[in-house]
Amino acid sequence: MCGIVGVTGRAPALPLLIDGLRRLEYRGYDSAGVAVLIPASALPSPGAADPASGIHESAQPRYVLSRHRSVGPVSRLAALLPDTALLPDTVLLPDAAPAGHGTAGIAHTRWATHGAVTEANAHPHVDAAGRVAVVHNGVLEDAARLRRQLLAEGEALASDTDSELLAVLVARAQRAGSGPEDAVRAALAGLHGTWGVVFAFADHPDVLVCARMGAPMVVGLGRAPGGDPRHDRTLVASDPQALLPWTRRVVFLEDGDLALLRPEGAVFSRLDGARRRPQVRVLDTPLAQVELGAFDDHMDREIAEQPEVLARALAGRLAADGTVVLGGIDLPPRRMAALPEALLVGCGTSLHAARVGAALFARLADLPAHAAEASELALHPPRLHPDALVLALSQSGETFDTLQAVGELELRGHEVLGLVNTVGSSLARRCGAGVYLRAGPEVSVASTKAFSAQVVALTLLALKLGRSRGLPAARATALARALLDLPDALAATREACAAPVAGAAALLSTARAVAFTGRGLSAPVAAEGALKLLELAYLPAMAWPGGALKHGPLALLDARTPVVALVPDDETRAAALTGLAEVCTRGAPTVVLHAPGDADAAALATISLPVAAADPLVAPLLQVLPLQQLARGTALALGRDIDRPRNLAKSVTVA
């Protein structure tokens, strides 16, 4: 969950580290910190400790770890640092860096697991002598026992975190005579838990060591073949986005991997000491996609991008006659025809997309399908037919619960296909086959465009399965037309909803709680609308299938508990209108999503949100956008931080 970035090179490290943290801030933003190796000679009085900046000393050190940490956003940390405007390509002469600057360092933006949000708990952590610093993403098992043991053995600890223990263990191994790589290996060998971890060493100022177990870690190779060695730089991060401005050549670590980084390159090995041959990948993500441009926040940009995302997700995959080509899911027609059932797993927004997908598999392909919450499935995996189609959905490809569920399903002999957005992520590499969502990097913590891309991919898969399982050609052609028209229909919906959404957001911002309803295919979309609203606006928001309201939830309704109702033009419309009438009778204001000409629905709406008319099976893709706008608008009216809702982080890489 936390963001990690590290670099060792020949130029000032701080500008690059701070840039990396800014790019990763969406992964965790409770606190942030940085530690750079600086020559002791650059200190005000050489070798002296500087308590204000957290500089540590040992007898006559040549280099010291200069550490700065702060609670709050990266901008607050940056304000504490020496001038980071130094050009990152300025080559520094050894031992002649401007005050506070060094050429190697590690940095971290935190999402708290162990220990409250305080400066003392912010990373990097150092051992008591200040010779080893660590940034860590993950959770150590049995940390309480290890802490007691280390304290009993006379170690001093300064934080409540499990991560600090790593610095202490590595420093101990160093004192026992190990070099950096072996010290990390020795420390990690005895531990259980998850880590994406990077260490820096005051006694080896141009070396970083990183390792991975259950939390992502990617090494960036900055030396251009044949390039000027004075510009060598090797980087590491928890997410390739932090590396994009500096290098495109990366190596993703696998669980049990370790890497020793120097400016001129990296050496990869396994925890048991065996050497590993790295597979170098070249990232092709355009940098512009992660920048804000003219938008106010990343969520705004990502909502607006959806027509384009739909077009990308369809490109080259769907012909006008309904023929679907999904390169990564190339099941022979006979296997598709014989599939006994399907299971789709994911969390949060990905789970809502999975629910839409399961409904589409049932309708278009007559395939019994259900969607499962990954965290529950990992505890109690269902008994599935051995030939079941199993799919895992994830935007980040790093969600711990989803990866764990995939592990359980694989243990039971199932091949799991991935629907993943992030290229090269853990899930993408783990699933032998699957499709990429092509949504582009999603930065805002609240997922938007990934949902749309997932639903498109699932609709295509349902269509493909359907054609092998009796779906008539004419129906496939009609649906293909609706899908190909979607980008325009979505752009029209976005524009038509902009003004009424503003009114609806003003209404919701004074609410006590908000109820969402939808039936059939619209039920998971209503759930997604409620999730968006509660995570962004911090309002109690619940979703029920329309028919369930009268079995309890109606008791909630009053003038300050509005209902957001989805009334698509499909077989659920009549029942949805009946339910809506019951809501109006109870005096609750209503925000109703309906087709532009639906006068019956409009008559029951306090505020109408017009959703372009389309084939009912693509309606979820049109309904979700106004709900995203509504959540964002309400959160803005309440003064919330849109891209960084409290207590949350993008990529939930812990249990």
Question: Residues in the site for ligand F6R, rule: CB under 6 A?
Answer: 347-350, 394-396, 399, 402, 446-447, 531, 535, 651-652
Spatial distance between the Cα atoms of 132 and 124, rounded to a whole number of angstroms? 10
Indicate if the alpha-carbon torsion angle 237, 239, 244, 250 is positive or negative.
Answer: positive
Q: What are the C-alpha distances in Å from 298 to residues 79, 448, 453, 642?
A: 23, 10, 17, 8
Of 2, 210, 431, 497, the active-site residue reads 2
Which lies closer to ligand F6R via its Cβ, residue 396 or residue 493?
396
Which lies closer to ligand F6R via its Cβ, residue 347 or residue 443?
347
Min dist CB 612 to ligand F6R, Å, is 24
Min dist CB 318 to ligand F6R, Å, is 23
Q: Which helix (H) or strand (E) holds 641?
A: none
| Cβ atoms within 10 Å, residue 601 | 23
| Residue 101 and residue 86 in contact, taking contact as beta carbons nearer than 8 Å | yes
Residue 280 exposed, middle or buried by CB count within 10 Å (0-12, 13-18, 19+): exposed
Which lies closer to ligand F6R via its Cβ, residue 306 or residue 447?
447
The rounded Cα 225 to chain-centroid distance in angstroms is 32
Which lies closer to ligand F6R via its Cβ, residue 367 or residue 534?
534
Which lies closer to ligand F6R via its Cβ, residue 103 or residue 113?
113
First CA to last CA distance, the chain: 10
Structure-block tokens of residue 542: 């619940």
| Residue 347 and residue 485 in contact, taking contact as beta carbons nearer than 8 Å | no
Min dist CB 561 to ligand F6R, Å, is 23
Structure-block tokens of residue 103: 């050429």
Which lies closer to ligand F6R via its Cβ, residue 372 or residue 652?
652
Residue 99 exposed, middle or buried by CB count within 10 Å (0-12, 13-18, 19+): exposed
The CA-based dihedral angle spanning residues 597, 309, 301, 528, taken in that order and rounded to the nearest 10 degrees: 60
Which lies closer to ligand F6R via its Cβ, residue 349 or residue 459?
349
Min dist CB 335 to ligand F6R, Å, is 27
* CA angle (103 as vertex; 99, 107 as ends), nearest 5: 95
Of 449, 464, 532, 650, the active-site residue reads 650
Spatial distance between the Cα atoms of 371 and 352, rounded to a whole number of angstroms? 8
Spatial distance between the Cα atoms of 521 and 459, rounded to a whole number of angstroms? 12
Min dist CB 444 to ligand F6R, Å, is 8
Residue with smallest beta-carbon separation from ligand F6R: 348
Min dist CB 651 to ligand F6R, Å, is 6
The rounded Cα 555 to chain-centroid distance in angstroms is 37
What secondary structure does DSSP assign to 556-616, as a single string?
Answer: G-STTS-EEEEE-SSTTHHHHHHHHHHHHHTT--EEEEE-TT-HHHHHT-SEEEE-----G
Min dist CB 374 to ligand F6R, Å, is 8
Query: 650 catalytic, yes or no?
Result: yes
Min dist CB 30 to ligand F6R, Å, is 17
Positions annotated as catalytic residues are 2, 650
